Copies of this chain bind each other. A is one copy, B any other.
Amino acid sequence: MGKRENRTKPPDPATLCKSKDPAAVRELLTKVGDKWSIFILLTLEMFPDCRARFSAVEKCIPGISQKMLTVTLRNLERDGMVSREIFPEVPPRVEYQLTKLGETLLEPLQALLDWVNANSEQVRKSQRLFDQK
A111-B111, A112-B108 known; A39 vs B60 contact (CB < 8 Å): no
Closest beta carbon of chain B to A14's beta carbon, Å: 9
Chain A contact residue count (CB 8 A cutoff): 74
Report chain B residues within 8 Å CB of A112: 29, 32-33, 108-109, 112
Closest beta carbon of chain B to A125's beta carbon, Å: 8
User: Main secondary structure on chain A at its contact with chain B?
Assistant: helix
A106 to B2, CA, bound (A): 6
B115 touches A32 (CB 8 A): yes
Chain A residues in contact with chain B, CB under 8 A? 1-4, 6-11, 13, 15-19, 22-26, 28-30, 32-35, 38-39, 42-43, 45-49, 52, 56, 59-63, 77-80, 101, 103-117, 119-120, 122-127, 130-131
